[in-house]
Amino acid sequence: MGDKKPQHQISMAASAIALRGVRLFLSVGRAAAEKRAAPPPRPRRPKTKLVLPANKLQQKVVDMLLKNTKFNKNELEALHTMYRRLVTTAQTAVPTTGSIGQPVAKVDGIDQCTFRDVMHNTFDLVTEEAVLDRVWLTWERGPTGGEGALKFETWAHGLSILLRGTDEERRVHCFAVYDLNGDGYITKDEMFTLLKNCLLKQPGDEDPDEGVRDLVELVLKKLDIDKDGKVSIDDYRQAVEKEPLLLEAFGQCLPSKRHATAFMKTLSTK
């Protein structure tokens, strides 16, 4: 909690953060290219070939994403440009050799550190680390599950849900984030884990966990529609339909409409 920025300070600079973040992402590729074009330092370091995404989107990928996301062709091309530059910047930041002098493999895609930077700086997703880790893990990667870097198709699909998702898509996304073990239910233990990190211990509190347990019981009453002691996706869906504020009851999973709109406007001008 010590590293978490005060929410009121973040809100005051929200639009500036989003736009500055996007401008940074759209300019880092140029800086990286200039860096690679500069004469190599002496003594020369072993070179490692960068694994860069293709310069141009393949038509079959465009057609697929036009069907499966809510982006148009121009927006997809702008997202692909951003994706390439994010990957390039991350790769150039990795040392060319490891501790034993062997070449270091370059990540082919958006790695978790880059993902965190985008969520924090561009979308103002300042939330608990446990929640942000879950957002990362729940982005669909096909057979690789929650491991590995994000390919462009996954990147575009995930952003489509975050930025333009339907109410149902947003509910499914948030539920998956909160379902820590992926068994289809948000249990009291999972609620406790999520809520404990959200509360600051007050001076004089002898047992801060007791307050968390009380909060868990309160939230459970709101979400557990069928009263079986845990929250299913159907419970969650019904509860959020009645009270939309419960959508992000256990931590921020989605960018605000303001940040989503600012980001999309920036894409449309490219």
Quick: pLDDT tens for 219-270: 999 999 999 999 999 999 999 999 999 999 999 999 999 999 999 988 876 5
SS3 per residue for 109-164: CECHHHHHHHHHHHCCCCCCHHHHHHHHHHCCCHHHCCCCCECHHHHHHHHHHHHH
Domains recognised in the chain with CATH numbers: 7-36+45-268 (1.10.238.10)
Q: What does the alpha-carbon distance between residue 35 and residue 72 come to, in Å, rounded to a whole number? A: 33
- By three-state DSSP, how is residue 267 classified? helix
Is residue 25 pLDDT above 70, yes or no?
no
Higher pLDDT, 126 or 215: 215
Strand ranges (DSSP E) for the chain? 185-186, 231-232
Q: What does the alpha-carbon distance between residue 238 and residue 244 come to, in Å, rounded to a whole number? A: 10
Is residue 98 pLDDT above 60, yes or no?
no
The mean pLDDT of 99-123, rounded to a whole number, is 78
191 neighbors 214 (Cβ within 8 angstroms):
no
The mean pLDDT of 192-217, rounded to a whole number, is 76
Handedness of CA 68, 82, 141, 190 (dihedral sign): negative
Query: Residue 147's pLDDT is what?
Result: 61
Cis preceding linkage at 203, omega within 30: no
- By three-state DSSP, how is residue 55 classified? coil
Is residue 87 pLDDT above 60, yes or no?
yes
Compute the mean pLDDT over every residue in the chain, rounded to the nearest whole number: 77
Q: What does the alpha-carbon distance between residue 230 and residue 122 come to, in Å, rounded to a whole number? A: 34
52 neighbors 87 (Cβ within 8 angstroms):
yes
Query: Residue 53's pLDDT is what?
Result: 53
Handedness of CA 132, 197, 19, 69 (dihedral sign): positive
Query: Residue 237's pLDDT is what?
Result: 97
Q: What does the alpha-carbon distance between residue 174 and residue 177 come to, in Å, rounded to a whole number? A: 5
Other beta carbons within 10 Å of 21:
21
